[in-house]
């Protein structure tokens, strides 16, 4: 305790304040901080988030308090050791009274960190065991032995750290050394046990894929695995530094603590690792996209429609080209140059065909999602995000496109499931407050959502339409073509023969082109 200087305690306070501010900001961007309010189905994730916030708060109070004391007392010169921070043995009553409350906060922060680490390891062990042996895992996580083991660790850890610090109290240096050793040993054992999840997780991902889990669930598991590898690495660094400083602080010579370079390096390395582990935990508990809405629409795309130039739009379909277009409808459904361009319907986000008979999740996904809900890794908004993505596969965001399985002349809402997808797409649009929470994860978190590198044709926005059906009926003197995309009419006279074309209105995205009056030559 004597060797930690004012600079190191200031770094602790700054990093802890940054972590706390980031957590609050992240929660606000996630859903307006509503995730911090305990609810019936999401109370466990709220509890974990509050525990994480108190970890940062405890380190902030401890670092700021000792930074104030260290800056007030400054440094002193001792012939045997040279210039060192003012030793705790020389503290007056004015400054020794800071020790008890500040030590309580650092003990609380460290104990909560151990509890969070233990919870994640035990929860994922339960989940992997339930997937591997579904018949033997009839109980949920909260009724399993893993949950009771976590509660026991949460209670015993602070009790052990407090007893190590206050039972047989000698001085502040010995007290801090004992607490570092006791807490470091517990954290190291928990990290070693939890790190076995990293070894088992690739095999678990393969088994999940074999059970038929959907890509949404596999993407979430892949994201957790990548984040947990980095977080476990930082936790091992933090624990190792704390153990080294604690063990050396209990020795007679204190070689490491009295070496300014080594001591400062270990202190700052441990605080930095603690900070990064906390940031990654926030991202795991509250996953959201950091990309802007304009660049993160991997699965859902809202086309931008420019104002329609009526003369330019309809002149392309008049005269000889218009007659050529209508004469070749039965032989060639693709119009000639100058007429309306037809594009392929948008494909689903993950590459599978949109089958209205399939449920939102496969049977394997249902089982995994029920397990993920217990640990706060899945909620109802994730279900709506899946509905939004599946709705995007059938059309465009928030809109209704004709379905390949629908009867002729009908729109793409063929059953209640598609209506659910459309409703979810509209209510969870990125333009709404709740939709901002439900943006998709970034590309690096999922191997299933990849940007297309194929160059798109340079087609004017107003010509980017999709025609699902064309019904042609030839009558003497009148040729009628009906579609479901735009509302316009043209009449042309060629060689005394009148040709009439009419199309009924439809939608593109969430916008409907206005009805344009009939234009043409008589």
Place of tokens 């919870």: 119
Per-residue pLDDT tens digits for 8-29:
999 999 999 999 999 999 999 9
Give the pLDDT score at 15.
96
Q: What is the mean pLDDT of residues 250-267?
A: 90
pLDDT tens digits for range 156-197? 999 999 999 898 888 898 999 999 999 999 999 999 998 999
Q: What is the pLDDT of residues 329-367, one digit of tens each?
A: 444 444 444 433 333 344 333 333 344 334 434 544 555
Burial level of 434, CB count in 10 A (0-12/13-18/19+)?
middle
Average pLDDT of every residue of the chain: 70
- 3-state class of 473 per DSSP? strand
Q: Is the dihedral of CA 250, 253, 257, 262 positive or negative?
A: negative
Q: Give 365 or 36, the one with higher predicted confidence.
A: 36
Choice between 11 and 447, residue whose per-residue pLDDT is larger:
11
Domain boundaries, the chain: 6-285, 319-448
Decide if pLDDT at 475 tops 50. no
Residue 513 pLDDT exceeds 70: no
Q: How far is CA 323 from CA 226, 370, 466, in A?
A: 59, 59, 21
- Which pLDDT does position 3 carry in this prediction? 77
Q: Is the per-residue pLDDT at 138 higher than 90?
A: no
Q: Is the pLDDT of residue 465 over 60?
A: no
For residue 466, CA distances in Å to 341, 470, 483, 485 come to 8, 11, 10, 7
| Exposed / middle / buried, residue 371 (Cβ in 10 Å: 0-12, 13-18, 19+) | buried
Structure tokens at 202: 């690739």
Give percent above pLDDT 70 in the chain: 54
Write the pLDDT tens digit of every residue in 411-428: 343 444 445 454 554 544
Return the CATH fold of 6-285. Answer: Rhopdopsin 7-helix transmembrane proteins (1.20.1070)
pLDDT of amino acid 384: 54
Token pair for residue 519? Answer: 């234009």
**Cβ count within 10 A of residue 130:** 22
Q: What is the rounded distance in angstroms from the CA atom of residue 233 to the CA atom of residue 276? A: 10
**Is the model's pLDDT at 243 over the cut of 90?**
yes
The pLDDT of residue 328 is: 46
pLDDT in tens, 80-109: 888 889 888 889 889 999 999 999 999 999
Report the percentage of the chain scoring pLDDT > 90: 32
Cα distance between residue 73 and residue 50, in whole Å: 35
d(CA 445, CA 224): 9
Place of tokens 């926005």: 461
pLDDT given for residue 341 in this prediction: 37
Question: Predicted confidence band at 238 (pLDDT cuts at 50, 70, 90)?
Answer: very high
Three-state SS for 471?
Answer: strand
Asked whether residue 376 carries a pLDDT value surpassing 70, the answer given is no
Backbone phi, then psi, for 194, in 5-degree steps?
-70, -25
- CA 376 and chain centroid, separation: 13
Output the DSSP codes for 356-383: TTS-SS-HHHHHHHHHHHHTTS--HHHH
Question: What is the tens place of the pLDDT at every residue in 303-313?
Answer: 444 444 444 43
């Amino acid at each position: 305790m004597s060797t930690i200087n004012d600079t190191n305690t200031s770094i602790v306070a700054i990093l802890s304040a940054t972590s706390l501010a980031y957590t609050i900001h992240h929660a606000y961007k996630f859903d307006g901080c509503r995730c911090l309010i305990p609810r019936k189905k999401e109370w466990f994730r709220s509890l974990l988030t509050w525990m994480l916030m108190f970890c940062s708060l405890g380190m902030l109070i401890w670092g700021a308090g000792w930074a104030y004391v260290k800056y007030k007392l400054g440094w002193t010169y001792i012939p045997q050791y040279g210039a060192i921070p003012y030793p705790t043995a020389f503290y007056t009553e004015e400054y020794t009274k800071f020790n008890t409350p500040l030590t309580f906060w650092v003990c609380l922060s460290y104990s909560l960190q151990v509890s969070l680490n233990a919870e994640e390891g035990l929860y994922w062990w339960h989940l992997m065991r339930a997937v591997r042996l579904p018949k033997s895992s009839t109980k949920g996580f909260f009724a399993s032995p893993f949950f009771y083991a976590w509660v026991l660790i949460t209670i015993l850890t602070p009790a052990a750290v407090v007893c190590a610090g206050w039972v047989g109290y000698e001085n502040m240096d010995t007290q801090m050394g004992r607490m570092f050793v006791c807490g470091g040993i517990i954290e190291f054992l928990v990290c070693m046990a939890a790190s076995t999840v990293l070894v088992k997780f690739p095999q678990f991902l393969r088994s999940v894929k074999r059970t038929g889990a959907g890509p949404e669930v596999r993407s979430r598991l892949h994201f957790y695995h990548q984040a947990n590898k980095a977080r476990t690495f930082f936790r091992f660094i933090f624990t190792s530094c704390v153990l080294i400083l604690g063990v050396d602080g209990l020795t007679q010579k204190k070689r490491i603590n009295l070496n300014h370079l080594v001591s400062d390096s270990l202190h700052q390395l441990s605080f930095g690792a603690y900070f990064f582990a906390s940031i990654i935990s926030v991202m795991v508990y509250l996953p959201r996209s950091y990309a802007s809405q304009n660049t993160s629409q991997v699965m859902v795309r809202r086309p931008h429609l420019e104002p329609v130039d009526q003369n330019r739009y309809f002149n392309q379909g008049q005269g000889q080209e218009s007659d050529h277009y209508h004469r070749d409808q039965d032989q060639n459904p693709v119009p000639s140059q100058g007429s309306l361009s037809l594009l392929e319907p948008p494909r689903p986000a993950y590459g599978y065909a949109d089958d209205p008979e399939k449920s939102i999740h496969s049977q394997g996904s249902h089982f995994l999602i029920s397990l993920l809900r217990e640990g706060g890794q899945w909620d109802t908004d994730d279900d709506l995000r899946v509905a939004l993505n599946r709705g995007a596969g059938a059309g465009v965001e928030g809109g209704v496109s004709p379905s390949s399985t629908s009867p002729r002349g009908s729109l793409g809402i063929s059953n209640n499931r598609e209506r659910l997808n459309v409703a979810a797409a509209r209510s969870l649009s990125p333009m709404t407050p709740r939709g901002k929470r439900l943006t998709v994860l970034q590309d690096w978190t999922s191997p299933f959502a990849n940007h297309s590198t194929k160059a798109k044709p340079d087609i004017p926005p107003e010509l980017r339409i999709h025609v699902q059906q064309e019904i042609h009926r030839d009558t003497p003197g009148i040729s009628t073509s009906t579609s479901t995309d735009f509302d316009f009419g043209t009449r042309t006279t060629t060689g005394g023969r009148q040709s009439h074309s009419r199309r009924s209105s439809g939608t593109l995205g969430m916008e409907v082109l206005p009805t344009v009056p009939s234009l043409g030559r008589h």
